[in-house]
Structure 1
Amino acid sequence: MNSSIKNILAVILGWVGGSTINMALIQAGHAIYPIPNIDSNNMEALSEVMPTLGINYFIFPFLAHAIGTLVGAFIAYSIAAANKMKFAYTIGILFLIGGILVNFMITGPIWFTIADLLLAYIPMAWLGGTLAQKITKK
């Protein structure tokens, strides 16, 4: 397969795979820790209630962002033709951009925003790429 096509597929499949994990964990979090009287699809209502929530409501969003990024970076690294770690980091940057946007749309506690933006994206992209490197040994 053409290396350009492999690299494009690496980004697309890494993004789709990571996003799928992300959304599954977000949905699991809503099922385990439902926010009373709030439609979880209503961004304005979520933004209003976020500062009042306990730490348990932030576990799944953080895990969703971190594990989604890790899986996406792993997939991207595994598929990319060359400069594989660059593609793992590309996924991390895409997810970081999404994380920044979500943190502006749904304002949560500052501690969560800082932890999320500093720990869930670029470090997890590095870890996903590193794990893929060790497993594939390429």
Structure 2
Amino acid sequence: MPEGTDLTTEEGLIAAADLLQPIHYLMPFLAHALGAFVGALIAGLIAATHKMTFALSIGLVFLIGGIMMVLSVPSPTWFIVVDLVLAYIPMAYFAGKMTTNKA
């Protein structure tokens, strides 16, 4: 992290937002994408039927959480777009495809 940043509080995050570089957004993106993927994968694996529906439902819940995050935590526009478009529904879809038995 850049020198003098305190990301433990919301105020510190807002103050440090201008100092953060694109590399600093990699871990939040991966956390959002992997969280949606693992949640959707687990939902798809334990669902007896409609596996894709359950997986996408988890992706939708994560997307709602991502939208709430965007509204409360300042981020660059490019990160907001990348995060909301690529992290939640696509990862849930991929996990849902992995759990369907289409051989």
Give the alignment's TM-score, normalised by structure 2: 0.88
5+ residue gaps, structure 1, are 1-33
The equivalent residue for 1:109 is 76
Give the alignment's TM-score, normalised by structure 1: 0.68
The equivalent residue for 2:95 is 128
The equivalent residue for 2:25 is 58
Cα deviation for residue 35 of structure 1 reads 4.6
Instruction: Assess if the C-alpha contact under 8 Å between 2:6 and 2:16 holds in 1.
Output: no
- Aligned CA RMSD, in angstroms, stands at 1.6
The equivalent residue for 1:88 is 55
The equivalent residue for 1:15 is none
* Identity score, percent: 44
5+ residue gaps, structure 2, are none
**Cα distance between partner residues in 2 of 1:101 and 1:80:** 27
**Which structure 1 residue ranges, 4+ long, deviate > 2 Å from structure 2?**
34-41
**Cα distance between partner residues in 2 of 1:85 and 1:46:** 36
Query: How many corresponding residue pairs?
Result: 102
Query: Is 1:37 equivalent to 2:4 in the alignment?
Result: yes
Larger helix share, 1 or 2 = 1
Alignment deviations for residues 11-39 of structure 1 (CA, whole Å, 9 cap, x no partner) = xxxxxxxxxxxxxxxxxxxxxxx353333
